[in-house]
Amino acid sequence: MRARHPTRRTVTDISELSKAYQTLLSTIEAVEPRIAEATRSELADQRDSLKLIASENYASLPVLATMGTWLSDKYAEGTVGHRFYAGCQNVDTVESVAAEHARELFGAEYAYVQPHSGIDANLTAYWAILAHHVEMPALEEFGVKNVQALTEADWETLRARFGQQRLLGMSLDAGGHLTHGFRPNVSGKMFHQNHYGTDPETQLLDYDAVAAKAREFKPLILVAGYSAYPRRVNFAKMREIADEVGAVLMVDMAHFAGLVAGKVFTGEEDPIPYAQVVTTTTHKSLRGPRGGMVLATQEYAADVDRGCPLVLGGPLSHVMAAKAVALAEARTKEFQTYAQAVADNAKALAEGLLTRGGKLVTGGTDNHIVLLDVTGYGLTGRQAESALLDAGIVTNRNAVPNDPNGAWYTSGVRLGTPALTSRGFTTSDMDSVAQLIDEVLRSTTPVPTKDGKPGKAKYDLASDVAANSHNVAGGMLQAHPLYPGFEL
């Protein structure tokens, strides 16, 4: 049965909502005033800065409000209708509605909305794929009747069977994520891992090179998806590669889920028809609460369903509820307009930087990310990030392919448009933002170290330029207020 298309009712009296939040904050204040104060300050900080962090956004007030309820108090380990606790009927409703919206929105056969974050979603997916493809020996093979009777040697055998699997993902400096097989993350410890990069000349994904690597490495899982790659991916080609080597295609769309939901990425750029398993966060371009999700074909549904208790604790029912609200919002025409604006704004930001002589990884963007290589300004990513922050522009430093400054200092800053687009910034605003960034970076000079070597951390930024940037940014932020009419 197709779900009813969600209707969207707007909050008509924002002053009533403001009063409700004021009351809520005063109840918090009575218990721990520092938390009430930090909550108020966070709103002020979010309102007063030009937020270009590609992984952040502003959830709607209904999404935020949904998280602050007693649904948080309920334990509901298990799945809908099959819980390890009594009295889960309301959580069942919440989880079913969220999963229904996710399936309908993305056209997925199956949705698992319990993961608490993107990392948890990936871990759930990896174990589901392992469970599906790596045969668990029957207990009889070990001559025992129950798991408790397995000896340490038996467990060694089991661990070896699961631990010998291979995972191929995008390299970190090409834009991949830690959870795609890097040592600091459990994914780099549980799999033999290998990585594909981008073309050294164009910095674009080279599908022939990915295929060659896959043929040589023969992974069980081919991971597509990224945190800092400013281009779209052709998932039909990735699936072809996976099929050729007998791998499962898993796509981590944590960053660009909003562009898939908003029908900006369609056809071969939409991962759902091509990947057996798709993971995501819900808080980035999708503009929902902080959390994760796994979408899958029916074939993997039963294995994904075991996420709790295999790798997850009890579901966060209040967050699943907020996912349902955010997914309902994402099923509207307004969200599609928003998603298109995110991509248009990124293009305008890229063009604004290029026109002013900026150097961009891959030469531009066709998603929500712009990766600015700041070596042309004589700076490291760390210096650029700090100078921009002094000027009221919030970004994060990021490695560029084959970064000579490594992952700590880096040579780039990553810029993203989902948050400013949520405030209503347009393409002409993005040109002004590009101008500000360019002016600030041109007016920033690196400070050498004490022994006269080129410094990687310290910098000088002309104070009049920083002041002007705050002024101009302040004007733009006032023109596009965050939660207009909402006063604390």
Residue positions forming the annotated binding site for (6S)-5,6,7,8-tetrahydrofolate? 172, 176-178
User: Smallest distance from the beta carbon of 396 to ligand PLP, in angstroms?
Assistant: 10
The one catalytic residue in 232, 290, 331, 442 is 290
Q: Which residues contact 191 (CB under 8 A, 6 or more apart)?
A: 126, 165, 166, 167, 181, 220, 221
User: Smallest distance from the beta carbon of 267 to ligand PLP, in angstroms?
Assistant: 21
Closer residue to ligand PLP in complex, CB, 195/456: 195
User: Smallest distance from the beta carbon of 152 to ligand PLP, in angstroms?
Assistant: 33
Given CA atoms 449, 453, 458, 461 in this order, what sign does their dihedral have? positive
Active-site residue 290, yes or no? yes
Which residues are near ligand PLP by CB under 6 A?
A: 55, 117-119, 122, 177, 179, 225, 227, 252, 254-255, 281, 292
Helical segments of 164-220, H only: 186-190, 207-217
Q: How many CA within 13 A on the CB side of residue 243? A: 9
Q: Identify whether 309 is preceded by a cis peptide bond (ω within 30 of 0).
A: yes
Active-site residue 281, yes or no? yes
Nearest Cα to Cα of residue 284 among 233, 226, 234, 331? 226
Report the C-alpha gap between 388 and 440 in whole angstroms: 7
The one catalytic residue in 83, 231, 284, 347 is 284
Report the C-alpha gap between 409 and 424 in whole angstroms: 32
Q: Are residues 380 and 405 in contact, defined by beta-carbon separation less than 8 angstroms?
A: yes
User: Smallest distance from the beta carbon of 115 to ligand PLP, in angstroms?
Assistant: 9
Give, as one character, the DSSP assignment of residue 312.
-
Report the C-alpha gap between 194 and 179 in whole angstroms: 12
Measured in residues, the chain has a length of 488
The one catalytic residue in 29, 56, 75, 92 is 75
Joined tokens for residue 323: 């996912």
Closer residue to ligand PLP in complex, CB, 124/444: 124
Closer residue to ligand PLP in complex, CB, 288/455: 288
Nearest residue to the partner ligand PLP, using Cβ: 118
Active-site residue 252, yes or no? yes
The one catalytic residue in 29, 77, 206, 240 is 77
Report the C-alpha gap between 124 and 312 in whole angstroms: 8
Q: Are residues 278 and 251 in contact, defined by beta-carbon separation less than 8 angstroms?
A: yes
User: Smallest distance from the beta carbon of 57 to ligand PLP, in angstroms?
Assistant: 12
Closer residue to ligand PLP in complex, CB, 169/352: 169
Look at residue 35 and give its three-state secondary structure: helix
Given CA atoms 94, 97, 102, 103 in this order, what sign does their dihedral have? positive
The one catalytic residue in 79, 198, 281, 380 is 281
Report the C-alpha gap between 292 and 253 in whole angstroms: 10
Closer residue to ligand PLP in complex, CB, 172/461: 172
User: Smallest distance from the beta carbon of 193 to ligand PLP, in angstroms?
Assistant: 15
Closer residue to ligand PLP in complex, CB, 283/470: 283
Closer residue to ligand PLP in complex, CB, 339/461: 339
Give the residue numbers of the binding site. 172, 176-178
Closer residue to ligand PLP in complex, CB, 6/118: 118
Helical segments of 89-246, H only: 89-106, 118-133, 152-163, 186-190, 207-217, 235-245
Q: Are residues 439 and 461 in contact, defined by beta-carbon separation less than 8 angstroms?
A: no
The one catalytic residue in 100, 104, 252, 269 is 252
User: Smallest distance from the beta carbon of 55 to ligand PLP, in angstroms?
Assistant: 5
Given CA atoms 331, 332, 334, 337 in this order, what sign does their dihedral have? positive
> What is the helix (H) or strand (E) element at residue 75, kind and residue range?
none
User: Smallest distance from the beta carbon of 298 to ligand PLP, in angstroms?
Assistant: 24
Bridge partners, residue 278, by sequence: 251, 295
Task: Give me the residue label for tokens 């060659």.
Answer: 212
Nearest Cα to Cα of residue 342 among 268, 398, 285? 285
Nearest Cα to Cα of residue 222 among 233, 230, 146? 233
Report the C-alpha gap between 436 and 190 in whole angstroms: 44
Cite the active site residues: 75, 77, 252, 281, 284, 290
